[in-house]
Structure 1
Amino acid sequence: MDPKLPDDQLKRLQEQRHEKRIVRKIVMYVGIAIIAIALIGSISSYFYISNALKPVDPDNKKAVKIELPIGSNIDTISQTLEDKGVIRNAKIFKYYTKFKNASGFQAGTYQIPPSMSIDDIIKSLKTGKVYRKADLQITIPEGLTLDQIGNIIAKNTDYTSKEFMKLVTNEKFIKEMKAKYPETVTKDINGKDIRYKLEGYLYPSTYDFFTKKPTLEEIVEKMIAQTDAIVRSYEPQLKELGMTPHEFLTFASLLEREATAQTDRETIASVFNNRIEQGMPLQTDPTVLYALGEHKDRVLYKDLEVKNPYNTYLNKGLPPGPIANAGRASLDATVDPAKTKYLYFVADKDGNNHFAETYSEHQNNVAKYIKSQK
């Protein structure tokens, strides 16, 4: 302190220094308060989240039936689990699944007790494990036509294949399916040359039913609902390709009936695309068999002349509709075909396909793998 300063200046200087000390104290106290509040908030949030991730009732082993419909998203699943009382907080569950990078939850019926941990619930939903044994299970393989699916239904239920075909060709039922699944079952199935409107729309999979005798409508709709969910998962690719769901299922059905391996599907898809681009008929034998309405081991030359909209030897482009149901491998190959210049392929007696870019190369393959092996 300068003793030479006048008393009034000295007094002001002392007041300023005092004010600065007070300001520094206020800032310090405010800072401490903010840190304390943040710390308390963090601790509170930690305990809140930790509590939300605990089982609802560790002592309650009684399972709760949870129905997760096909097409359910994480918001719907989380809210359903909270509403059923098997998790504490839907939002925390949703964010926790994202933190764990958990996805691919399976639709179905689950039996989940309130004592189950969050991680076990997530694991169950990812694997699609059903805790309740199904009263009826039906497996539909890939590459089947409606009449073949009808035979499987007849073997596994009390319904006849005739009753099945009557339902899947019933206009009222078809109209209901169009109304329920408008993005997949579109007006394209009404084409004048289509044999069966729902051909190719019953997805190949294993279906569980939890009543001893579900109605035939329930059985068929479950398969159509699965097709809807699968097709909608390809929406970005279909939009990019400019392909409708009906064209998608039709193209994939050809691959399903022609291919014997995953690589074949992708390569055959490229052949079909190359032929379409060059204005050539697809000339695929399975469409001839579908046109004939019968199952044969060999297609004869006379068969190729059958006058039918499904015969791709006589008609260019895709047939009017699917000729069978297609599985995931064929659907994938449809939207992601191989890049080739192939225009021809022929299968040998072992089912291996041999591809060619020119007709002369194709003739050599036919001579080598077909005629020489007769």
Structure 2
Amino acid sequence: MTEYGRGRGPEPWHPEDPLYGDQGWTGHQTQQGQAPYGGAPQQEYPQEPQQQYQQQYPQQQYAEHPQQAYPQQQYPEYQQPQQYAEQQPAYAPQQHQQHQQHQQHQQQHQQPVYDTEGWDTGQVPYMAAVQADPYVGAEPYAQQPVPGYPGEAPDLYATAEAYPPPRPPGQRHLEPEPVEQEEEEAESGFLAGGGGRDGDDDGGDPAGGGRRGGRSKGGKAKQRSGAACLIATLVIVGVLGGGGYYGYTYIKARFGAPEDYAGEGTGESIDVEIPKGSGLLQMGVILKKAGVVASAQAFADAAAKLPPGKAIQAGVYPLKKKMSAAAVVEVMSDPSKLNVVTVAEGKRNAEVYKLIDAKLGKPEGTTNEIARREAKNMGLPAWAANPKAIDPLEGFLYPARYDLSSDTTPESLLKQMVKNATDKYGEMGIEAKAKELGLENPLQVVTVASLVNAEGKNHDDFRKMAEVVYNRLKKTNDVTNQKLEFDSTYNYIKGKSDINFSLKEARAFEHPYNTHNVKGLPPGPIGNPGADALNATLNPDHGGWMFFVSVDGDKTTFTKTYEEHQKLADEFLARQKQKNGG
């Protein structure tokens, strides 16, 4: 290049050429603002049809200078413009001489036209003249002297080491570099069953040009191809089979009936605990994890068919492995099948002990013996100590349902019941309430509550019954002389629940718990009061009730005077005689 910019020399076309560009193919003239040869305007000629050039210059080969697309003799000899000569007189003779030599050199080397394909070279046809290249044979990228004419650029394609000449646009495709045979074999090694050169040397191939690796065309190559096909087939079959299996499983789970077992299950038993608040599907999940049902949905569907009011309760159920959903629902919908111990309100300890023995499979009397022996270790509060009590734990086996598990023991279950009772009494504040009610200690509060729970028929009777107890305990009571005369105390001693007994015998029977014989409260509770009886004991009716009687055995009638009570009592005795045939 010169200080005036690029001349009309050939454009480099190799991508690694620092002068790489594509201006030659866009039909551009010389760069804008750079007139060649001293600023003289270049004469332009219109493009002629492709057929004309092909006929005029047939089968001409590409020359070293791509600019010279037409024979040199068609153009007149280039004459240096007078303006240029006047501006640079010092160089005119030498430049003129070089110009003549350049024209002679160009005439000797007639340039053919490579326009056989009819593509646009981007150069203006019929250009004025082609300059001589003084740099032919020189290094293309070496330091070159300033050319004779301003704007003239060196020809970078004149030597064998230079970049190749440009190609027509339709032929500009990078040719792939030759790949050695062993690299091609390595790329196809998976299908061929090998990995490039494997060391098999079966001799050279005379026709193959000395292939490296010695791979034969048959034999082991065919074996490898067969093995590869077998492996590919197995992979495809595996993929299709796995997809089909999962597809079948999805469709069956989405649209088919849920999986279910048949029958009553195997001989292996298992205790399954259903937490409170569990829904049917959540229950099914728990049963599925335990191995009882085949699917949670099967159990949920079977349980949804239960009639209203027969919902499955939370608790521990003794079940078996691999039971049908219907069989599981049948067991769990029966409350008696629950693996639990339920302490009802007012139930005595003797009954609770028998129930525990039955549920835990212990010999009768086991729990009773443990309760009496380990009473001090059960967690009773300090105010509950009572050496006169028939059963130290009476009144402390709090009414509730207790779920049993495989590791439940009589001792652990009794401790849980005592803890519940102690916690409940503490929440209700019976220690502070005892003195307000005129009682000696909190244990007497529990005792009154046990009497209320035993004599009352329903929850509506409890507050009136508590009022009767407090009124009879008063020192001003001259009707019963501070005797409670409750039949429940006599039955407690006898271990019965019989209302048809001889009053005369009851009054003659001496025992600290017999309120027909002694004044005041018994030494301890006669049962385990529930929350309603406890609340009624702490909040009596204050209606002045002194007597009560149940005429029909269901409804309790309360009275304030003895006369009213006696009248009702006579009606009750007459009914009892008629009932017994007397």
State TM-score, norm by structure 1: 0.59
Is structure 2 residue 484 aligned with structure 1 residue 248? Answer: no
Is structure 2 residue 478 aligned with structure 1 residue 283? Answer: no
Q: Is the 8 A contact 2:450 2:528 kept in 1?
A: yes
Give the match's secondary structure for 2:403: strand
- Listed as ranges, the matches of 1:1-374 within 5 Å are 136-170=339-373, 173-177=374-378, 180-182=379-381, 186-192=382-388, 194-209=389-404, 211-235=405-429, 237-238=433-434, 240-241=436-437, 243=439, 244-277=441-474, 278-279=476-477, 280-301=482-503, 302-372=505-575, 374=578
Displacement of 1:273: 0.6
Hey, what's the Cα distance between the residues in 1 that align with 2:435 and 2:465? 22
Displacement of 1:215: 1.7
Q: Is the 8 A contact 1:285 1:299 kept in 2?
A: no
Hey, what's the Cα distance between the residues in 1 that align with 2:506 and 2:314? 51
Give the match's secondary structure for 1:197: coil
Structure 1 outlier segments of 4+, above 3 Å = 108-112, 130-136, 236-243
Hey, what's the Cα distance between the residues in 2 that align with 1:240 and 1:229? 21
Hey, what's the Cα distance between the residues in 1 that align with 2:421 and 2:275? 18
The letter for the 1-side match of 2:454 is: R
The letter for the 2-side match of 1:234 is: M
Hey, what's the Cα distance between the residues in 1 that align with 2:560 and 2:346? 27
Hey, what's the Cα distance between the residues in 2 that align with 1:293 and 1:231? 26
Alpha-carbon distance change, 160 to 276 in structure 1, aligned in 2, over 3 angstroms? same
Displacement of 1:248: 1.5
Hey, what's the Cα distance between the residues in 1 that align with 2:437 and 2:542? 15
Give the match's secondary structure for 1:355: strand
Alpha-carbon distance change, 132 to 165 in structure 1, aligned in 2, over 3 angstroms? closer
Q: Is the 8 A contact 1:281 1:315 kept in 2?
A: yes
Displacement of 1:195: 1.0
Q: Count residues in correspondence.
A: 242
Q: Is the 8 A contact 1:289 1:299 kept in 2?
A: no
Alignment deviations for residues 251-299 of structure 1 (CA, whole Å, 9 cap, x no partner) = 1110111001112111011011111113421111000111233342423
1:93 is matched with none
Displacement of 1:110: 8.4
Displacement of 1:223: 0.6
Displacement of 1:242: 5.8
Alignment deviations for residues 200-233 of structure 1 (CA, whole Å, 9 cap, x no partner) = 2101110124x31312111111111110111111
Hey, what's the Cα distance between the residues in 2 that align with 1:131 and 1:268? 34
Hey, what's the Cα distance between the residues in 1 that align with 2:567 and 2:354? 41
Displacement of 1:132: 8.4
The letter for the 2-side match of 1:298 is: N
Hey, what's the Cα distance between the residues in 1 that align with 2:575 and 2:518? 30
Greater gyration radius: 2
State TM-score, norm by structure 2: 0.39
The letter for the 1-side match of 2:393 is: L
Displacement of 1:181: 4.2
Displacement of 1:240: 4.1
Give the match's secondary structure for 2:548: strand
Alpha-carbon distance change, 133 to 157 in structure 1, aligned in 2, over 3 angstroms? closer
Gaps of at least 5 residues in structure 2 are 1-273, 279-312, 319-338
**Identity over aligned residues, as a percent?**
28
The structure carrying a bigger helix percent of its residues is: 1
Gaps of at least 5 residues in structure 1 are 1-107, 113-129
Alpha-carbon distance change, 293 to 372 in structure 1, aligned in 2, over 3 angstroms? closer
Displacement of 1:156: 1.3
Hey, what's the Cα distance between the residues in 1 that align with 2:496 and 2:314? 42
